[in-house]
Amino acid sequence: MSIFAGVICLNNPTLKRIITDEVRTNFKDECGTKDIFQHSEDSIFFTSYALFESNIRSSKKSTDIINGNPLFENDFADKSCLEQRLFETLRSARGVFSGLIYDKSNDKTSIFTDKMGIRPVYYYHGNGVFIFSSLLSVIQKISVIDKSLDSLGIIEMLAFGYCLSNRTQFENIKRLDGAEILHFEKDEISSQYYWDWKNIPINEKVTVQDINDLYDCFDDAIQLRLDNSEEAISFLSGGLDSRVIASKVKQYVKKLHTFNFSTSRSQDNEYARLFAESAKLNHNEKTFETLAFPNWTQLIADCVQEPNYGISNNVDKSNIWSGDGGSVAVGHVYITQDILNALKNDDFTLAAKIFQTHTQTFVPEKFLTNNFNKTANLKLTESIIREMAPNQNDSGKAIYYFLMNNDQKRHLHIHFETMGQHKTELHLPFFDSVFLEKIHKIHSRDMLNHKLYMQWFQNFHPSSRTTPWQTYPGHEPCPIKVENNLTYQWTKAKNKKWHLTEILEIFQLLRNKKVFNFFDKKKVYAAFILHTLKLKNYSYLFGKIAFLGKVLKE
């Protein structure tokens, strides 16, 4: 596990000292430790925290820092290739990672991320200063930089919970795109991309051999991420993605410890337990009254340290297997036939609007200020369209590219942003780039609604198919009879209970003055009164206000 941050400041030693001190302080606060690597000379300073020394290498010629596990091909296993053949070396990588190289001889700094941009790197450039970090919080807490808000970024965050493209909520703080290398040299920034997902050739038909090859590739992705331990730890929900991970990992370890975090008497909770019994897993569960998008990694990081779960000290507790990415990458969640039809007719606007309706991705315009209330959703639609990139042989890949490059890239934000606290890495085989390349070659029509997923699923160990699993509405159903009295993840709660504590929390939110730069104060207070009197449920509105308030406060 490693994270890094750095500052390059030309021709202004005083400013460099101020920013360096703040970066150093912010970074230590996030890591909760003083045991960090630091390098400083002339105009450059950078710092890193790593559990393993192999993530950092410094010599007279260069300093390299790698976050995550790139999984380079054998020919590129020697890290010296990073400086000598950076482009080719990164193309050979199939893992989730980010990193930096400081070439001292040329006074050149390069930062980069994996092919999907899953592992984040943020950067700021202005007034002769270049700041970069794998933690957004380290940059946004710096007092002397321009942190003007990006209005489009805020609109996107209100709708999706994250920004699209390389945006953040700040105009001048950006995030690296997937497969991007950013070079900083003599106060100039240049960018290059070492991989292109847009023009991967499409197979016209899916054969049995294609399905088998996909299974073998996934098996390879699992084996590449295994260590020599006879035990491992994994998330296990009631769905398919974590199930296929657990099924494969269990093939290669004697004991697999699985953890489920959900509400009691839910499909998520019950189906995970049933599968764990069938597959003979060492299963653990923690139930909650409600579970609204917590920091999942922090939950499991805390649990694995508790002695009552019986995990031996021989197990690497800092590496956890996760099924993140499977539902979108292989199941084609959020994509419908109507969207594909619109894209086939080159009607990107209609495709974007169908997608927004299907996913209920809108901004509450009528509660926004006059600056936003008539154009917010129009700008949102236009932003989605700009992020679509059709393949010449499959127009439907446009929406798939949008989701993989945005939804999936941002989905693990909390995990990566809090790495300094939970100090945990995730094994993410669904984001293995060789596996994803094979998925990209399959035509969109064959991927819809978990159609291909279910064909692929037949290759897994029989124990994975003997107990029910949770499915998405309208997707391939589970053939096993399920209990009707279990709560379902995608069923909206009825007869909401109203609590005084909830109302007081909402009132506290409305005291954040920055919120009313975007929301109309009178309309929001009117909604608050109706909500308090139980005349109308505005939970969705206050959920977005709560989210925005948190973003603006940080």
DSSP 330-385: TT-TT--HHHHHHHHTT-HHHHHHHHHHHHT----GGGB-TTTTTTHHHHHHHHHH
234: tokens are 């994994």
- Beta strand pairing status for 255-263 and 282-288? parallel
The closest of 429, 352, 438 to 388, measured between CA atoms, is 352
Query: What is the reported pLDDT for 77?
Result: 60
Can you state the angle between helices 539-553 and 151-160, rounded to 10 degrees?
130
Cβ neighbours of 254 (radius 10 Å): 9
The closest of 117, 104, 87 to 8, measured between CA atoms, is 104
pLDDT tens digits for range 448-480: 999 999 999 999 999 999 999 999 999 999 999
| Separation of alpha carbons 476 and 472, rounded Å | 8
The pTM (predicted TM-score) of the whole model is 0.94
What is the average pLDDT across 235-264? Answer: 96
Higher pLDDT, 154 or 127: 154
Task: With beta carbons less than 8 A apart as the criterion, state whether 55 and 2 touch.
Answer: yes
422: tokens are 């939970």
From the candidate CATH numbers 3.40.50.620, 3.90.180.10, 2.40.128.20, 3.40.630.30, the one assigned to the domain spanning 208-329+410-465? 3.40.50.620
pLDDT at 169 > cutoff 70: yes
The closest of 172, 177, 132 to 153, measured between CA atoms, is 172
The pLDDT-based confidence of 124 (bands split at 50, 70, 90) is: very high
pLDDT tens digits for range 335-357: 999 999 999 999 999 999 999 99
Q: Strand pairing partners for 237?
A: none
Choice among 99-108, 125-134, 490-499, 506-515 with the minimum mean pLDDT: 490-499
| Separation of alpha carbons 269 and 292, rounded Å | 15
131: left (phi over 0), alpha (psi -120 to 50) or beta: beta
User: Using DSSP, how many helices (H) and how many strands (E) does the chain show?
Assistant: 23, 17
The pLDDT-based confidence of 260 (bands split at 50, 70, 90) is: very high
What does the domain layout of the chain look like in residue ranges?
Answer: 2-193, 208-329+410-465, 500-553
Third-level CATH fold of 2-193: Glutamine Phosphoribosylpyrophosphate, subunit 1, domain 1 (3.60.20)
pLDDT tens digits for range 513-525: 888 989 999 999 9
pLDDT tens digits for range 192-237: 999 999 989 999 899 999 999 999 999 999 999 998 889 999 999 9
From the number of C-beta atoms within 10 Å of its C-beta (0-12, 13-18, 19+), residue 53 rates as exposed
Dihedral of alpha carbons 71, 77, 82, 85, sign: negative
249: tokens are 């990992």
Query: What is the reported pLDDT for 497?
Result: 54
pLDDT tens digits for range 474-494: 999 999 987 778 888 766 544
* E-only strand ranges, 158-265: 173-175, 180-185, 188-193, 231-235, 255-263
Q: What is the DSSP letter of 305?
A: T
**Phi, psi of 184, rounded to the nearest 5 degrees:** -120, 120
520: left (phi over 0), alpha (psi -120 to 50) or beta: beta
Q: Give the 3-state secondary structure of 187-205.
A: CEEEEEECCCCCCCCCECC
